[in-house]
Structure 1
């Protein structure tokens, strides 16, 4: 029997709960498979990203287990020191 989801017909906005995710491999030349709603890391470190706006910035000293609400199109290898990066959607 499938699990009941009474909210299945609701639109999932940016303020709703995270409903999916994927492992991120930093790459200077390749966009993520999907733009994120948030990011989380497995170890303390910097994450160099390209945001939805096209701006390239470094998110410094991210802490593991914290969900950072950022719309990211690419995670850059150059400048990224954190590991265990998860894209959240």
Structure 2
């Protein structure tokens, strides 16, 4: 039996909690399955990403356990040292 979702009929805006997630395997050539709403960084380090709206950026020195509220299309293997990444949507 699945959990009762008392909020299932409400519209989900960007400020609503995530309801989907996927493990992120950084790749220089493959976009994520879906654009993220945020990324959970399990083990700290740097995170090089392509933003959903365009542009490359490297977030440097992210502590482990951080939820970074960014809309990302791709996480690059080159330049990413953070691990145990989870995309939230």
Q: Decide: shared fold, TM above 0.5.
A: yes
Q: Could you list the per-position Cα deviations for residues 4-28 of structure 1 after superposition, in whole angstroms to 9, with x for gaps in the alignment?
A: 2111011111000111211000001
Which residue is 1:26 aligned to?
26
Q: Report whether the alignment pairs 1:73 with 2:73.
A: yes
The equivalences for 1:7-86 within 5 A come to 7-86=7-86
Gapped regions of structure 2 (runs ≥ 5): none
TM score, norm. by length of structure 2? 0.94
* Mapped partners of 1:63, 1:88: distance in 2: 18
The Cα of 1:52 is off from its aligned counterpart by 1.1
Higher strand share: 2
Q: Say how many residue pairs are matched.
A: 89
- Native 8 Å contact 2:42 2:66 kept in 1: no
C-alpha RMSD of the superposition? 1.0
Gapped regions of structure 1 (runs ≥ 5): none
Q: Could you list the per-position Cα deviations for residues 34-67 of structure 1 after superposition, in whole angstroms to 9, with x for gaps in the alignment?
A: 0000001111100000001210000111112221
The Cα of 1:3 is off from its aligned counterpart by 2.3
TM score, norm. by length of structure 1? 0.94
The Cα of 1:2 is off from its aligned counterpart by 3.7
